[in-house]
Chain A
Amino acid sequence: MPEQEVEIHISSVLAMITGGRKDYKCAGSNVRLVFENLFTQEPSLRVHILDENNAVRQHVLVYVGEEDLRWLGGLDAKLSGPTDITILQAVSGG
């Protein structure tokens, strides 16, 4: 599977710890690898997106295009073409 170039967009609250930056370009053949690329660029984001088990935090919502990552199979979901990933806070988080 060739590596996909993905645009990642993070929420305004998360951008408070990235100096205001909200958009990143990352590469990887699945979401986990794309996130690893993101954490290389912005190490401070890892602890806010993944939990102690390296799973997406319970109340963090990840959209791949318009699809919820949970319905695509989680972090190992393959990326089949150019897309955007958006990281938001779920309504369940309060």
Chain B
Amino acid sequence: MGVLIIVGTAKGAFLVRSDDNRNSWTVDGPHFRGWKVTTASRNASGEYFLATASDIFGPAIHRSTDLENWTQIVDGPKFEEDVGRKLNQIWFLSTNADDYYTGVDEAGLFRSTDTGNSWAPVPGLNEHDTRSGWVPGAGGMCAHTFLRDSRNPDRMWCGISAVGVFRTEDGGETWQPRNEGVKVIIPDEDLSEIGYCVHALAQDPEDPNVIWQQNHVGMYRTHDGGDSWQSIQNGLPSTFGFPIVLDPHTKWLYSFPLDGDEFRLPVDGKCQVYRSQDQGESWHALGNGLPESRYHAGVLRGAMDIDGHDPCGIYFGTTSGTVHYTNDRGEKWYSLPDILPRILTVKVFSVSDA
């Protein structure tokens, strides 16, 4: 057994592998040399999916069973001509259930019912009653985050910047904004239920109604699937950051606060992951092994992930192209020697043949 990390960068994907000890790594790449690699996933059969994008040549989804030979999905997500939207980037791929979903910029959700061969828009969200009031954040207007209810396949959540969290109870037919308690960032005179800038979500695997949210203006938690959110800032050095991940074994949380939203730089020039060991009630800095000063790179929304081991490994990539990791829940951190292009996404998979 071992661990595979797909590191997606502004100029290709790098495959980083180790055995279960997670202390000796090989780095293979770049795959899709010259292309942005924006996210990746795996399905229940072990097939991998990977999204590319280019400011010149646009986005696409590719699939592979061996991580070497990739086939582009020809009938991928696409806005029809009369919709008047451009598809700029694939933000997430959710391929671990019967129906696959992908979220894109310009904000939209697409579904595949044939294991990824063809994709159709989800009009209940894409043409939502509030659509006229949706506005982009600095990273574009994108449907970037997706959760499923492990106990009810008809129940899902989608996070859109800078719009908010939406939830469906009917398999994606209709979607309702679920942002009560979150500070609004772009108030709309007529549409009070939107204007919230969700950055990332993490979900309790045992209780899908418990969700943590790193938002543009704070850290939040809900116990009721998003019906109400509470601020959980105690110990965090700022309200801004992008990723949040959860260790399913301990339910400890990990985030990477940034001094923002104006600056979006690490606080005080330190590379520090913040950990909560009490469901988000309090947060504490972790930095043992990470750069202690003169550190000025950020960590983007999709650029932190966690493995399923116990003790868990946590991995993050930076806008300066460095990869840092721990194999003991964050007590001690290490850095890969490679300097990669700007890192957009980090996705971790358990594998049998690393």
Chain A CB within 8 A of B33 CB: yes
Most buried by B among A43, A49, A57: A57
Task: Please give, as numbers and ranges, the residues of chain A lying within 8 Å of B86 by CB-CB distance.
Answer: 51-52
Report the Cα distance A13→B57, complex, angstroms: 9
Report the Cα distance A59→B80, complex, angstroms: 20
Task: Please give, as numbers and ranges, the residues of chain B lying within 8 Å of A57 by CB-CB distance.
Answer: 56-58
| The residue from B33, B57, B76 contacting A89, defined by CB atoms under 8 A apart | B57
Report the Cα distance A17→B31, complex, angstroms: 10
Return A23 CB to nearest CB of chain B, in Å.
Answer: 18
**Residue of B whose beta carbon sits closest to that of A88:** B56
Known A16-B32, A16-B34; contact A52-B78, beta-carbon cutoff 8 A:
yes
Chain B CB within 8 A of A47 CB: yes
**Residue of A whose beta carbon sits closest to that of B31:** A16
Most buried by A among B72, B78, B83, B86: B72
Task: Please give, as numbers and ranges, the residues of chain A lying within 8 Å of B78 by CB-CB distance.
Answer: 47, 52
What is the size category of the interface that chain A forms with chain B?
Answer: 20 to 34
Return A46 CB to nearest CB of chain B, in Å.
Answer: 8
Return A37 CB to nearest CB of chain B, in Å.
Answer: 16
Q: How many residues of B contact A (CB 8 A)?
A: 25
Report the Cα distance A40→B79, complex, angstroms: 21
**Residue of B whose beta carbon sits closest to that of A14:** B57
Segment 21-44 of B: residues with Cβ below 8 Å from A:
32-35
**Residue of A whose beta carbon sits closest to that of B86:** A52
Report the Cα distance A92→B33, complex, angstroms: 20
Task: Please give, as numbers and ranges, the residues of chain B lying within 8 Å of A59 by CB-CB distance.
Answer: 55-56
Report the Cα distance A13→B35, complex, angstroms: 7
Produce 1/0 per residue, A48-77, CB < 8 A to B.
110111100101100000000000000000
Chain B CB within 8 A of A44 CB: yes
Report the Cα distance A47→B85, complex, angstroms: 14
Task: Please give, as numbers and ranges, the residues of chain B lying within 8 Å of A12 by CB-CB distance.
Answer: 34
Known A13-B34, A16-B33, A17-B72; contact A51-B56, beta-carbon cutoff 8 A:
no
Report the Cα distance A38→B125, complex, angstroms: 35
Known A16-B33, A52-B85, A54-B81; contact A43-B74, beta-carbon cutoff 8 A:
yes
Task: Please give, as numbers and ranges, the residues of chain B lying within 8 Å of A17 by CB-CB distance.
Answer: 32, 52, 60, 62, 70, 72
A interface, by DSSP: helix, strand, loop or mixed?
mixed
Chain A CB within 8 A of B87 CB: yes
**Residue of A whose beta carbon sits closest to that of B62:** A17
Report the Cα distance A63→B60, complex, angstroms: 24
Q: Are B35 and A44 in contact (CB under 8 A)?
A: no
Chain B CB within 8 A of A94 CB: yes
**Residue of A whose beta carbon sits closest to that of B80:** A52
Q: Are B56 and A60 in contact (CB under 8 A)?
A: yes
Most buried by A among B55, B57, B72: B57
Q: Are B74 and A48 in contact (CB under 8 A)?
A: no
Task: Please give, as numbers and ranges, the residues of chain B lying within 8 Å of A16 by CB-CB distance.
Answer: 32-35
Chain A CB within 8 A of B54 CB: yes
**Residue of B whose beta carbon sits closest to that of A50:** B58
Q: Are A48 and B55 in contact (CB under 8 A)?
A: no
Report the Cα distance A94→B59, complex, angstroms: 16
Q: Are A48 and B85 in contact (CB under 8 A)?
A: no
Report the Cα distance A51→B52, complex, angstroms: 16
What are 22 A-B residue pairs whose CB atoms fall within 8 Å in the complex?
A: A13-B33, A13-B34, A13-B35, A44-B74, A46-B74, A47-B74, A48-B54, A48-B58, A48-B60, A51-B58, A51-B86, A52-B78, A52-B79, A52-B83, A52-B85, A52-B87, A57-B58, A89-B57, A90-B56, A93-B55, A94-B55, A94-B56
Residues in B lying within 8 Å of A, measured CB to CB: 32-35, 52, 54-60, 62, 70, 72, 74, 76, 78-81, 83, 85-87
